[in-house]
Amino acid sequence: MDLTARQLRNKINPKVVLEVRIGKGVVSKGLDVIVEDFAFSGLMRVKFKLQIPFPHIERVDVSFMGEPEIDYVCKPLGGDLLGFDINIIPGLESFIKDQIHSNIAPMMYDPNVFPIEIAKMLAGNPVDQAIGVVAVTLHGAHNLKNTDKFSGSPDPYAVVSINSRTPLAQTKTVHETTNPKWNETHYIIITSFTDSLTMQIYDFNEFRKDKELGTATFPMEGLETDTEHENLSLDIMANGRHRGTLQADVRFFPVMHGGKNPETGVEEPPPELNTGIAKITIEQAKDLDGTKSLVGQLNPYGVLLLNGKEIHITKKLKRTNNPIFTNPSKEVLITDRKAARLGLIIKDDRDLVTDPILGTYQIKLNDMLKMMEKGREWFNLNGAKTGRAKMKVEWKPVALKGVVGSGGYVTPIGVMRIHLQNARNLRNVETMGKSDPYVRVLLSGIEKARTVTWRNNLNPDWDEVVYIPMHSPREKIILEVLDEESIGKDRPLGMLELSAADYIREGEDGQYEVDDEKQLLSTPLRLEGRGNPKGTLNYTVAFYPTLNVADPEEEEEEAKTKQAMDGQVAVETRKSIDSARSGATGPPQPNGEDKANGRPSADTTRSKQLSNGEMEEAETPTEKVVPKIRITSQDVHNYESGLIVFKIIEGQLSQQDVHLEVLMDDHAFPCYTSNRARSKHITFNDGQYRTFTLILLHYSSGDARRD
């Protein structure tokens, strides 16, 4: 490109030297590929999103308004002295530039933008972390037009991606129609609102490559303010021409975060949910068994499994027995955390034969999260003499709706009993009369119970007992006193916070202990937890753990998942063993090939175990296992108190735009309230309405508050 004299004086020649290795193992040669003198020019639009706190710029969006001019010198052979620029070859330069434009266009050519998260970068937060899940419901398409007039009616299917990159979901194929109906919902993990959701429509063909009919685009910027977009009619475009209409719904479910404690400033844990995003990371491995390689050095890579299915493969490394993987992480959507099972297989990359297994490991997701809480990251590999892997899991809860099989139910570890006795000297926020106070109980920011309202009273005597199912000692309970308003939002009178860890303690046998002291507590109330206190809340707290009852459905699901995981490992192991046998150069040894000095060798015995689907236990510290209690329907009457779990399946309503409330006994307020139903007939078993829990208490005599 043309430069001025001043630019030439100040110009620094950028130079990148890449090494391309030809050959395999010890018989290989590295060749230098030099790329230098590269520059570009073009018209760029830079958009700043400002914020009040430092650094005052939240995000910068960069976009080329057109294809930039690119210039470079590439010397693939000969180095600096003897190398020549390959762009002198006719047709090659234009081909390379077309490839560059085709890859960069979905990233930063208008209307696409390349976001730079300035605030997140300076705050130390990863810019590629998941912010939520987008549910894309593809109802169908209308008036699809085939670019080839002689091809007849298309066989359309849709592919969902972000900015037309890697396909993330695909619908079924509807044959010979221009008005396909899919009625499918797919869930996409997103990391930024600046991206666009692209739905590419293809014409399926059994004998040739599938032809793209057009693309429908939905900018996700609108999801930041409005999380639900229904009955969308998106134009399907191809080469600037209209090729049909796509009917779709787009909904966004954000990652849930815990609130910040106003007194200590410490971030509180998020709510315990059964659905969410798991970021699985296999950072590195050490002391892999080098005896499985002829030269003693391995070419390892890792394979991550979820419920027996392969979800991620790391980059294949060369000549190392202590690999540090370069793309170690994978974020996946978990619809049932309780039944999810993780797996890891480390293999040795071979070109001509099946890759042998260097070690395996599998564990329940819930157990893995408990290991993370204890600070444990290294795990011994099964099926190998030596070797261990460093794994991490980060859990982000997402309150998903409409996921089949999600259940939304997390088994509680116990029940917190809170006796709200009274309050004294509350704030008066009324100009005429006195406040109308009531107490509500929030668990991780979600309302779980509330008392009745005392009218025109600053010293109410509620004398009510509420029971809150607890799922973890890390949870926080907030008791908030509010003034009920007939018009507008209820006004806060003060609040206080309870830490579940103060009452939930684990015994030496692994079971949670009963905390039944019921000590009377008098805590001052503060607005949003800070400022001068005004008023006092009097209450008692107790904790009662649940019994570890065996769930037949859960055991059956775990058995299926474990069988799938073991089957995957067994198949891979059989391939490795068969490949090793077929590639052996020594003579066969019938009747004694797996014996050494008359005894079975450890390697062969382990291989046989793995080939039969048996998993060798890792050398891990002994975990406290609480025995499960099996209760039949005939034994239920022997237990006077417990939890009832309801799941509503479907309903026929008298009118639309109504919601369902469920009340228990003489409770003044519903224990469950559904979302608003948009039609008269509603199906609940799709997960849109979560399973909920009721506390069932039965006392032979006396009052519940005194028992």
Helices (H), 542-599: 552-582
Residues 6+ apart with CB under 8 A from 358: 288, 289, 292, 298, 300, 346, 347, 348, 381, 384, 387
Domain check: are 519 and 450 in the same one?
Answer: yes
| Rounded mean pLDDT, 691-706 | 42
111: preceding bond cis by omega (within 30 degrees): yes
Helix/strand/coil for 579: helix
Give the residue from 114, 145, 171 where a domain finishes. 114
Domain check: are 91 and 185 in the same one?
Answer: no
Listing DSSP states for 367-396 in one string gives: HHHHHHHTT--EEEPBSSSS-EEEEEEEEE
> What's the 3-state SS for 618-670?
CCCCCCCCCCCECCCCCCHHHCCEEEEEECCCEEECCCCCECCEECCCCCCCC
Rounded-to-integer distance, Cα 61 and Cα 63, Å:
7
Q: How large is the C-alpha radius of gyration of the chain?
A: 31
Grade residue 124 by pLDDT with cuts at 50, 70 and 90: low
| Rounded mean pLDDT, 185-209 | 90
Grade residue 585 by pLDDT with cuts at 50, 70 and 90: very low
Across the chain, mean pLDDT equals: 80
Domain check: are 24 and 138 in the same one?
Answer: no
Give the residue from 545, 566, 592 where a domain finishes. 545
Report the range of poorest mean pLDDT among 143-147, 364-368, 403-407, 691-695. Answer: 691-695
Domain check: are 91 and 149 in the same one?
Answer: no
Contact 538, 545 (CB under 8 A): no
Domain membership of residue 161 (yes or no) is: yes
Contact 220, 190 (CB under 8 A): yes
Q: Is residue 34 predicted with pLDDT exceeding 90?
A: no
Domain membership of residue 345 (yes or no) is: no
| Rounded mean pLDDT, 660-664 | 82
Domain check: are 154 and 219 in the same one?
Answer: yes
**Residue 698: predicted pLDDT:** 41
Listing DSSP states for 15-59 in one string gives: EEEEEEEEEETTEEEEEEEEEEEEEEE--EEEEEEE-SSTTSEEE
How many percent of the chain have pLDDT more than 70? 80
Rounded-to-integer distance, Cα 341 and Cα 308, Å:
8
**Residue 639: predicted pLDDT:** 81
Domain membership of residue 605 (yes or no) is: no
Domain membership of residue 202 (yes or no) is: yes
**What's the domain range around 514?**
414-545
| Rounded mean pLDDT, 696-706 | 40
Domain check: are 110 and 216 in the same one?
Answer: no
Q: Please name the amino acid found at residue 608.
A: K
Backbone angles phi, psi at 32, to 5 degrees: -85, 135
Rounded-to-integer distance, Cα 236 and Cα 213, Å:
8
Listing DSSP states for 138-190 in one string gives: EEEEES---SSTTS-S--EEEEEEETT-S--EE-----S-SS-EEEEEEEEEE
Contact 455, 438 (CB under 8 A): no
**Residue 266: predicted pLDDT:** 57
Helix/strand/coil for 342: strand
Grade residue 614 by pLDDT with cuts at 50, 70 and 90: very low
Other Cβ atoms less than 10 A from the Cβ of 89: the count is: 10
Q: Is residue 258 predicted with pLDDT exceeding 50?
A: yes
Domain check: are 92 and 150 in the same one?
Answer: no
Number of domains in the chain: 4
Q: Is residue 699 predicted with pLDDT exceeding 70?
A: no
Domain membership of residue 140 (yes or no) is: yes
CATH number of 507's domain: 2.60.40.150
| Rounded mean pLDDT, 48-52 | 86
Domain membership of residue 496 (yes or no) is: yes
Q: Which two tokens stand for residue 450?
A: 């509330």
**Residue 704: predicted pLDDT:** 40
Domain check: are 101 and 159 in the same one?
Answer: no
Rounded-to-integer distance, Cα 537 and Cα 539, Å:
6
Backbone angles phi, psi at 556, to 5 degrees: -65, -40
What are the pLDDT digits (tens) for 458-500? 999 999 999 999 888 888 899 999 999 988 889 999 999 898 8
Domain membership of residue 458 (yes or no) is: yes
Domain check: are 138 and 72 in the same one?
Answer: no
How many percent of the chain have pLDDT more than 90? 34
**Residue 587: predicted pLDDT:** 37
Domain membership of residue 303 (yes or no) is: no
Q: Please name the amino acid found at residue 217.
A: T
**Residue 676: predicted pLDDT:** 74
What are the pLDDT digits (tens) for 61-105? 999 999 999 888 888 766 666 667 777 788 888 888 888 888 888
Grade residue 591 by pLDDT with cuts at 50, 70 and 90: very low
**Residue 294: predicted pLDDT:** 80
Domain check: are 163 and 204 in the same one?
Answer: yes
Other Cβ atoms less than 10 A from the Cβ of 299: the count is: 19
Output the CA–CA distances (angstroms, integers) from residue 499 to 117, 504, 512, 527, 537, in the order listed: 35, 9, 16, 18, 16
CB-count exposure of residue 370 (10 Å: 0-12, 13-18, 19+) = middle
* Helix or strand holding residue 96 (H, E): helix 92-108
Rounded-to-integer distance, Cα 572 and Cα 570, Å:
5
Domain check: are 170 and 48 in the same one?
Answer: no
**Residue 613: predicted pLDDT:** 37
| Rounded mean pLDDT, 391-402 | 86
Domain check: are 212 and 94 in the same one?
Answer: no
| Rounded mean pLDDT, 613-638 | 62
Give the residue from 522, 545, 568 where a domain finishes. 545
Q: Is residue 202 predicted with pLDDT exceeding 70?
A: yes
Contact 254, 276 (CB under 8 A): no
Report the range of poorest mean pLDDT among 169-183, 188-202, 560-574. Answer: 560-574
What are the pLDDT digits (tens) for 15-25? 888 777 776 65
**Residue 311: predicted pLDDT:** 93
Q: Is residue 707 predicted with pLDDT exceeding 50?
A: no
Output the CA–CA distances (angstroms, integers) from residue 279 to 197, 365, 393, in the order listed: 22, 11, 6
- Name the nearest CA neighbour of 262 among 9, 581, 531: 531
**Residue 250: predicted pLDDT:** 93
